[in-house]
């Protein structure tokens, strides 16, 4: 695979992973700015190690023990649960039922909460480390899902997905370190919408392949599947906007 083809193959994983890295960076910045950088650094390293152990144990076991078809079906099922959940939330956000994801607001809320917890004058900041650990572990798990989704097609696809995720991580962390503020310039809501649809399309493709289906056009059939999910999402946004009265204040906490 030449560099150009590799870059194209790595692009979906890069975009999807960037969203997750932005969310983790927001929390770590909030912890670092309010409570110092030592504890979130330890929390981040501990979470990265936990993720590495989980992926090494589970990943290697699954890949070596589970037959290829069953593995594809399993990955497809997980992707559908994960991707459609993202897509649902994105539709609700664009329809105005749920507030749009706002890194600035999340950052300020996190800072206020961390300040309210108080800071010990001496000793290790356990709270800061735990908050960073949880954020990195959670977003890291989502990155792992994303890499599996885009890498399930074989060694080249996996290499591209891993490189895409690593590049996204380096870029987002570098931006976070340079700017020392939430990365609000990244259009997260649109990216999440697209990524939800892409993950769902890959989920349908892999699950059916796992059951022995031969798609006409092979991986190219992901494009029409993606088109159907995007069309259904657009239709859903339109439908919800019609259903809800204009200018109404939605108080639903859980829809």
Partner 1 sequence: MSSLVGVWEAIWGLLVEDGSLAVGIVVALAITWVAAAVLPEANRDMIGWLLLVMLTLLVLFNMMAAGRKARRSTRTP
Binding site for partner 1 (CB under 8 A): 73, 77-78, 80-82, 84-85, 87-89, 91-92, 95, 97, 130, 133-134, 137-138, 141-142, 145, 200, 204-205, 207-209, 211-216, 221, 225, 228-229, 232-233, 235-236, 239-240, 243-245, 247-252, 255
Closest approach, Cβ 226 to partner 1, in A, equals: 10
Separation CA 158–CA 75 (nearest Å): 13
C-alpha to C-alpha distances, 211 to 28, 70, 198, 225, nearest whole angstrom: 42, 8, 20, 17
Residue closer to partner 1, measured from CB, 150 or 229: 229
Residue closer to partner 1, measured from CB, 54 or 163: 54
Residue closer to partner 1, measured from CB, 14 or 133: 133
Closest approach, Cβ 29 to partner 1, in A, equals: 19
Residue closer to partner 1, measured from CB, 5 or 235: 235
Separation CA 192–CA 10 (nearest Å): 17
Residue closer to partner 1, measured from CB, 160 or 165: 165
Separation CA 126–CA 76 (nearest Å): 38
Separation CA 68–CA 61 (nearest Å): 13
Closest approach, Cβ 179 to partner 1, in A, equals: 26
Q: Which tokens hold the place of 43? A: 């929390």
Residue closer to partner 1, measured from CB, 45 or 97: 97
Closest approach, Cβ 131 to partner 1, in A, equals: 10
Could you tell me if 43 and 132 are in contact, meaning their C-beta atoms sit under 8 angstroms apart? yes
Residue closer to partner 1, measured from CB, 48 or 77: 77
**Diameter of the chain measured on Cα atoms:** 65
C-alpha to C-alpha distances, 175 to 55, 74, 134, 170, nearest whole angstrom: 27, 35, 21, 9
Closest approach, Cβ 85 to partner 1, in A, equals: 5
Closest approach, Cβ 141 to partner 1, in A, equals: 6
Closest approach, Cβ 178 to partner 1, in A, equals: 29
- Tell me the DSSP string of 140-170: HHHHHHHHHHHHTT-HHHHHHHHHHHHHHHH
Task: Return the CA Rg of the chain.
Answer: 20
């Amino acid at each position: 695979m030449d560099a150009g083809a590799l870059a194209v193959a790595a692009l979906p994983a890069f975009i999807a992973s960037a969203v997750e890295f932005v969310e983790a960076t927001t929390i770590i910045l909030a912890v670092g700015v309010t409570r110092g950088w030592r504890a979130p650094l330890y929390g981040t390293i501990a979470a990265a190690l936990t993720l590495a152990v989980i992926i090494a144990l589970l990943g290697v076991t699954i890949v070596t023990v589970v037959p290829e078809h069953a593995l594809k079906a399993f990955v497809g099922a997980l992707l559908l649960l994960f991707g459609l959940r993202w897509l649902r939330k994105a539709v609700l956000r664009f329809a105005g039922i749920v507030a749009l994801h706002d890194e600035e607001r999340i950052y300020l809320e996190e800072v206020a909460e961390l300040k309210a917890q108080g800071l010990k004058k001496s000793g290790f900041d356990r709270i800061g480390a735990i908050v960073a650990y949880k954020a990195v572990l959670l977003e890291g798990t989502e990155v792992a899902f994303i890499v599996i989704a885009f890498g399930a097609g074989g060694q080249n696809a996996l290499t591209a997905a891993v490189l895409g995720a690593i590049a996204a991580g380096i870029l987002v962390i570098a931006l976070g370190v340079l700017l020392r503020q939430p990365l609000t310039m990244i259009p997260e809501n649109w990216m999440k919408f697209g990524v939800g649809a892409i993950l769902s399309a890959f989920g349908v493709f892999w699950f059916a392949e796992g059951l022995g289906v031969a798609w006409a056009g092979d991986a190219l059939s992901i494009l029409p599947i993606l088109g159907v999910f995007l069309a259904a999402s657009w239709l859903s946004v339109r439908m919800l906007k019609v259903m809800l009265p204009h200018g109404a204040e939605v108080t639903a906490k859980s829809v």
